[in-house]
């Protein structure tokens, strides 16, 4: 049964233009600013996706989901509240489009009350228009989506945690977003459903960027780069390795048997904290253009961007007082800060994490921009994607025990499956106040079914992809964190290091050696064949054990090795992973 793309008896603003959506945003969306570039920045209440407020509608006792669940009776009552709210508003913005291109494209309709006009504008950028997918003769017919999302940002649920709920109705392929105002809930709302739909049809969605690589022979292949938010997927996807790579996607791709790849979005949703023209020229140029949409960027009084903003000054808080109140700042605390009664250092930890009630003092590091693929120079032909022949995972290692090699190669499909299932990294600002190391199966927090199914499906797909090389890259630190690196006590893996390692990997020039502790392959830093790479990347990043030896901290390294093996085995066994995979990963 096809979904009804217009299920409400209200006036629809059907597929407004980008200009119209900007006008609607300035008129109806709270806490927005016009930038000096002419684009629009929304300061949101939620600074990240709220997984803890996301629920699959289901009451089965076998609980086949990796997410929270909600009984259908309770969900129905909340959805009826949303329906009543929409009827009272009397209007909805409707965006029709596709997730993907070609035969693997899936139609979706996104519906928003007008205070979500900015989210509609951002989503329209990422969706492929009907004209890119359907034959011209079909465009006059009613749209038939596979997925539907209904978004009411300012309907607050006072009897629910966080006054909000994201309800996922898998049976009817519909997601209801209530009380959240973060764009990621729109983007991931449909992509979460796509995860389950694709799984049921024999594929696997990867939380990954992808780029096309031209080989010296002239042939092309696709490289995928998996990673949790903040690990560097977008940076890696859009960085150049000479002239041999072309970006395809920066966030989610679909893997099918034989290494076939299909895409999901017509743009990118990029983190902008620390963004500069020198480090990330493509993303920076797109972000500061008039065509971009922004979320939680810091704007100076003249509308210019500050992508390095940390703590606010009292004067800045005073200038932004109205917006800070609209986005949840405690009024009494805000005024104390503005009046100088409380200073930033009084309420921020050594790591810069604010105390409860003082979040407004530290500007979020999870600011984002939406950039259309048409603004990305040198992008690949999205209608002709080469098959996958290289698959990697990013680990933004950080902390005193950060000892992941700069780049490593897996020497068996079972070993690769184990590390992909681990999904190791360090939590970043996308996780809110939480910090520290984490594991997330296949870096995929959007897979709604039990995560063990990802390992099962990947094993099935890997059996059809004997040609695919698999690897891992550290995008964080060795031996510490940012403060340690500044003090000369740790090494930071910089963007030029990552590019150099990928260039060497893609060219096939690396001479590898077996790591004696974990059994994967690392760069042989003493081999003459790797001299050019070692000139560009410190040997201690390529082989972190050398760093710990030089620092007189070899005992810390050996402790880390032992702990990693134990923790990894426990994690994999918890999900019922095949013992062959566990053995290849942890012995």
pLDDT number for residue 279 = 85
Residues 134 and 221 in one domain: no
Q: In the predicted model, is pLDDT for residue 242 greater than 70?
A: no
The helix or strand, by DSSP H or E, that contains position 416, with its residue range, turns out to be helix 413-422
Q: Which residue matches tokens 């994999």?
A: 572
Query: CATH code at 176?
Result: 3.40.449.10
Residues 82 and 183 in one domain: yes
First to last CA, the chain: 50
For the ranges 420-424, 427-431, 579-583, the lowest mean pLDDT is seen at 427-431
Per-residue model confidence as pLDDT tens digits over 157-199: 999 999 999 999 999 999 999 999 999 999 999 999 999 999 9
Residues 352 and 212 in one domain: no
> What mean pLDDT do residues 93-98 have?
98
pLDDT number for residue 428 = 55
Q: What is the dihedral of CA 235, 236, 238, 239, to 10 degrees?
A: 100
pLDDT number for residue 431 = 42
Give the model's confidence band at 452: pLDDT under 50 very low, under 70 low, under 90 confident, else very high. Answer: confident
Contacts of 188 (CB under 8 A, 6+ apart): 49, 446
Residues 443 and 507 in one domain: yes
For the ranges 4-18, 41-55, 87-101, 494-508, the lowest mean pLDDT is seen at 494-508
The proportion of the chain whose per-residue pLDDT surpasses 70, expressed as a percent, equals: 98
Which residue, 134, 161, 166, is CA-closest to 149?
A: 166
Task: Quote the tokens at residue 101.
Answer: 């291109």
Q: In the predicted model, is pLDDT for residue 435 greater than 80?
A: no
> What mean pLDDT do residues 284-306 have?
97
Strand spans (E) along 27-125: 32-34, 40-42, 54-57, 68-70, 91-99, 106-112
Which position has the higher pLDDT, 275 or 445?
275
Contacts of 158 (CB under 8 A, 6+ apart): none
| Within-domain flag for 317 | yes
| Within-domain flag for 277 | no
Residues 101 and 121 in one domain: yes
Per-residue model confidence as pLDDT tens digits over 302-337: 999 999 999 999 999 999 999 999 999 999 999 999
For the ranges 18-32, 93-107, 224-238, 342-356, the lowest mean pLDDT is seen at 224-238
Q: In the predicted model, is pLDDT for residue 339 greater than 90?
A: yes
Residues 401 and 321 in one domain: no
Give the model's confidence band at 561: pLDDT under 50 very low, under 70 low, under 90 confident, else very high. Answer: very high
| Within-domain flag for 376 | no
Give the model's confidence band at 239: pLDDT under 50 very low, under 70 low, under 90 confident, else very high. Answer: confident
Domain boundary among 342, 368, 394: 368
User: Facing residues of 407 across strands?
Assistant: 473
Q: pTM of the predicted model, to two decimals?
A: 0.90
Q: How far, in Å, CA of 169 to CA of 350, rounded?
A: 42
Domain boundary among 368, 397, 423: 368
| Within-domain flag for 274 | no
Per-residue model confidence as pLDDT tens digits over 122-140: 999 999 999 999 999 999 9
Per the structure, the count of domains in the chain is 3
| Within-domain flag for 240 | yes
Q: How far, in Å, CA of 473 to CA of 233, rounded?
A: 11
Q: In the predicted model, is pLDDT for residue 432 greater than 70?
A: no
pLDDT number for residue 216 = 74
| Within-domain flag for 578 | yes
Residues 78 and 164 in one domain: yes
Query: CATH code at 465?
Result: 3.90.228.20
Residues 458 and 557 in one domain: yes
Please state, in angstroms and as integers, the Cα–Cα distance from residue 576 to each residue in 25, 140, 204, 274, 451, following that order: 48, 50, 19, 40, 10
pLDDT number for residue 430 = 44
Q: How far, in Å, CA of 341 to CA of 370, rounded?
A: 38
Residues 27 and 126 in one domain: yes
Domain range enclosing 305? 287-368
Q: How far, in Å, CA of 364 to CA of 349, rounded?
A: 15
CB neighbour class for 497 (10 Å; exposed up to 12, middle 13-18, buried from 19): buried
For the ranges 72-76, 335-339, 501-505, the lowest mean pLDDT is seen at 501-505
Domain boundary among 201, 220, 238: 201
Q: In the predicted model, is pLDDT for residue 576 greater than 50?
A: yes
Average pLDDT along the chain:
94
Residues 246 and 324 in one domain: no
Residues 425 and 352 in one domain: no
Task: Quote the tokens at residue 391.
Answer: 């698959």
> What mean pLDDT do residues 83-104 have?
97
pLDDT number for residue 210 = 95
| Within-domain flag for 422 | yes
| Within-domain flag for 174 | yes
Per-residue model confidence as pLDDT tens digits over 156-167: 999 999 999 999
Residues 152 and 41 in one domain: yes
């Amino acid at each position: 049964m096809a979904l009804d793309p217009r299920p409400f008896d209200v006036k629809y603003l059907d597929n407004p233009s980008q200009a119209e959506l900007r006008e609607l945003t300035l008129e109806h969306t709270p806490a927005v600013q016009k930038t000096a570039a002419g684009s629009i920045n929304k300061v949101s209440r939620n600074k990240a996706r709220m997984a803890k407020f996301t629920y699959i509608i289901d009451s089965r006792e076998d609980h086949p989901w990796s997410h929270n669940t909600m009984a259908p009776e309770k969900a129905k009552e909340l959805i009826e509240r949303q329906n009543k709210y929409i009827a009272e508003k009397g209007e909805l913005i409707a965006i029709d489009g596709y997730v993907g291109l070609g035969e693997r494209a899936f139609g979706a309709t996104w519906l928003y009350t007008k205070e979500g006009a900015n989210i509609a504008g951002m989503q329209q950028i990422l969706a492929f228009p009907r004209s890119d997918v359907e034959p011209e003769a079909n465009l006059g017919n009613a749209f038939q989506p596979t997925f539907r999302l209904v978004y009411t940002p300012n309907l607050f649920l006072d009897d629910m945690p966080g006054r909000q709920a994201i309800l996922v109705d898998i049976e009817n392929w519909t997601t209801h977003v209530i009380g959240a105002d973060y764009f990621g809930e729109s983007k991931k709302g449909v992509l979460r459903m796509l995860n389950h739909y694709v799984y049921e049809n024999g594929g696997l969605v990867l939380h990954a960027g992808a780029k096309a690589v031209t080989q010296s022979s002239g042939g092309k292949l696709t490289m995928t780069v998996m990673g949790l938010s903040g690990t560097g997927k977008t940076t890696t996807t859009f960085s150049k390795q000479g002239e041999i790579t072309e970006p395809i996607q920066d966030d989610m791709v679909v893997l099918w048997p034989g290494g076939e790849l299909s895409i999901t979005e017509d743009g990118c949703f990029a983190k902008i904290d620390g963004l500069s023209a020198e480090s990330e020229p493509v993303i920076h140029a797109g972000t500061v253009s008039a065509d971009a949409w922004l979320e939680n960027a810091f704007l100076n009084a003249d509308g210019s961007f500050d992508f390095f903003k940390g703590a606010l000054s009292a004067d800045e808080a005073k200038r932004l007082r109205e917006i800070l109140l609209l986005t949840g700042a405690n009024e009494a605390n805000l005024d104390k800060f503005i009046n100088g009664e409380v200073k930033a250092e009084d309420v921020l930890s050594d790591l810069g994490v604010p105390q409860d009630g003082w979040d407004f003092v530290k500007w979020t590091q999870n600011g984002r921009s939406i950039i259309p693929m048409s603004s990305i120079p040198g992008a690949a032909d999205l209608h002709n994607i080469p098959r996958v022949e290289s698959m990697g995972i990013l680990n933004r290692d950080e902390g005193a025990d950060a000892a992941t090699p700069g780049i490593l190669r897996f020497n068996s499909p079972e070993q690769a499956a184990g590390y992909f299932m681990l999904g190791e990294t360090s939590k970043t600002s996308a996780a809110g106040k939480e910090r520290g190391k984490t594991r997330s199966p296949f870096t995929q927090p959007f897979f709604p079914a039990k995560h063990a199914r990802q390992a099962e499906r990947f094993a099935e797909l890997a059996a059809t992809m004997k040609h695919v090389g698999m690897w891992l890259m550290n995008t964080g630190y060795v031996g510490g964190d940012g403060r340690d690196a500044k003090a000369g006590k740790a090494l930071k893996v910089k963007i030029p290091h990552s590019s150099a390692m990928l260039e060497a990997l893609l060219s096939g020039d690396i001479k590898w050696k077996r790591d004696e502790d974990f059994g994967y392959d690392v760069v042989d830093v003493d081999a003459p064949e790797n001299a050019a790479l070692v000139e560009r990347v410190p040997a201690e990043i390529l082989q972190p054990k050398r760093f710990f030896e030089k620092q007189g901290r070899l005992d810390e390294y050996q402790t880390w090795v032992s702990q990693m093996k134990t923790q990894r085995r426990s994690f994999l066994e918890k999900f019922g992973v095949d013992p062959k995979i566990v053995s290849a990963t942890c012995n």
